[in-house]
Structure 1
Amino acid sequence: MPQPAPRIAPLQPPYPPEIQGQFDRIMRGAPPLALFRVMAGHARAWEKFRAGSLLDRGPLSLREREIVIDRTCARTGCEYEWGVHIAAFAEAAQLTDEQVRATVLGDASATCWSAAEQALIAAVDALHERATLGEAEFKALSAHYEDAKILEIIQLCGFYRTVSYLANALALPLEQTAARFPR
């Protein structure tokens, strides 16, 4: 069954050489995601999106980064971006099936997570619910992460909340190769 089209039409190939080069750098040879194709069709939006500078590795490990991104997308109900990240990175980040499920259905105290990972999830949840970290949440993060990592965690939450807003509001069809939320 074909999925409905996004609310704003994505750029179609052939792409301008500069855009193709940007897609190649981000996607490493895979076809560009619908989200990227929609954004790239609008120069200012694409420039601002890429200027978020959070599409690179940063100071967090791949596992830490993916836990933050997956939980943020799950909390915002963004199956599109959550599914893309699970399909692309869960195995490399060594997330077990139980942990993948817990990013959507678990809470910060789930026993499948280490103490440091529980602090990450609690921080994501606090930022989602209250747009701030309480003293206990910040103290828990500080026990496991240096300041540069804490700043990256907060920025990732905000950036992927924005990504979730975009994917959800644009009604992007789920990528064929992406994972689906556990039920």
Structure 2
Amino acid sequence: MRLTAPRVVPAAAESWTEEQRAIVEPMLARGPVLNIFRTLLNHAAAAKAFLVWGGYVLSRKNTLPPREREIVILRTGFLCRAGYEWTQHVPIARRAGLTDDEIARIKLGADVPGWSQPDAALLRATDDLHREQFVTEPVWAELARHFEERQRMDVVFTAGQYTQVSMMLNSFGVQLDEGQMLDSDLKGF
């Protein structure tokens, strides 16, 4: 975590406006509202727009299967040193079929043993996007051997969305939700 306290304080439920309540109402049906969303409530218009695009990236409309999508999300979060993002998505990645060993190897990248060719291509593409904001020709060709065009587009969309999310989390100082523990590899960032 880069900050030990929020720069943008999450909106307290007792002070939510009608507009803010309308944004979080669907979330309340699933449980407590996460700190990321309570923070975004401070800018309701942006929160509404953010939820539409973020909803696409996390939906079944995204042509990447959930497991592959989570590889891209976790690698992006780790490269951005976004402790909150990593912490939220590790359980999601497990539900999507990633093992604890695979999750640990995501931190190490594509060149460690054990990755399938498609998984390594996803990791390399995510690294390219993080480093260059561009998928290099060799990596694009590697992706093309395993993923159709719309899936390759969704790799870029997913990495881009979670780069933005990581920037917001890090810059706004969004703190972990109650009961969560920060991965030791992300302490001190």
> What range is the shorter-chain TM-score in?
0.7 to 0.9
What is the aligned counterpart of 1:59 among 55, 59, 63?
63
Of the candidates 169, 172, 182, which is equivalent to residue 170 of structure 1? 172
Structure 1: stretches of 5+ with no match in the other structure: none
Greater helix proportion: 2
Per-residue CA shift, 1:130-151, capped at 9, x if unaligned?
A: 1111111000111111111111
TM-score (norm 2): 0.84
Count of matched residue positions in the alignment of Structure 1 and Structure 2:
179
2:10 is aligned with what amino acid? P
Runs (5+) with no aligned partner, structure 2: none
| 1:95 shift after superposition | 1.4
Contact residue 73 and residue 161 of structure 1 kept, 8 A: yes
Aligned to 1:23: 24
1:63-116 CA-partner distances (Å, limit 9, x unpaired)? 0111110000000000111110113x1221221111111122x12122232110
User: Do 1:98 and 1:112's aligned partners in 2 also have CA atoms closer than 8 Å?
Assistant: no
Q: Which residue of 2 aligns with 1:10?
A: 10
Structure 2 residue 93 is matched with structure 1 residue 90:
yes
Report the TM-score, using the length of structure 1 for normalisation: 0.87
| 1:150 match | 152
Q: d(CA) in 1 for partners of 2:174 and 2:69?
A: 23
Identity across the alignment (%): 30
- Distance in 1, Cα, partners of 2:104 & 2:29: 27
Q: 1:132 maps to what in 2?
A: 134
